[in-house]
Amino acid sequence: QKEVEQNSGPLSVPEGAIASLNCTYSDRGSQSFFWYRQYSGKSPELIMFIYSNGDKEDGRFTAQLNKASQYVSLLIRDSQPSDSATYLCAVNESNQGGKLIFGQGTELSVKP
């Protein structure tokens, strides 16, 4: 059973702090890794994707990938109350034509 594990939270951080979200996956053949943000009652929105080991930065967001450890993370710098949402980690299922395996999501709460 291929799995993606996330801490469900809630993760609470003060406004302006760095929020760190973590994810581990079991499928060693996975090549593509995604972070989606989902506000309550809404559909997921793509935040970041990463394919190679190391860091990828986009504005206040940094995705980090370590394939050897089967670990992917998302850092949110200067967290804002509007960042409060559930963050879904998704990993492509190898040899399955683009199918993604989603984690349960981490609920982030940024306190003003």
In the complex, least distance from residue 104 CB atom to other proteins, rounded to whole angstroms: 5
**Contacting other proteins within 3-42 (CB under 8 A):** 31-32, 34, 36, 42
Residues numbered 39 to 68 that lie near other proteins (CB under 8 A) are: 42-46, 49
Q: What's the CA gap between 77 and 36, in Å, rounded?
A: 16
Give dist(CA 59, CA 77) in Å, integer.
Answer: 9
- Identify residues 70-109 at the interface with other proteins (CB under 8 A): 88, 90, 92, 97-100, 102-105
Interface residue list for other proteins (CB under 8 A): 31-32, 34, 36, 42-46, 49, 88, 90, 92, 97-100, 102-105
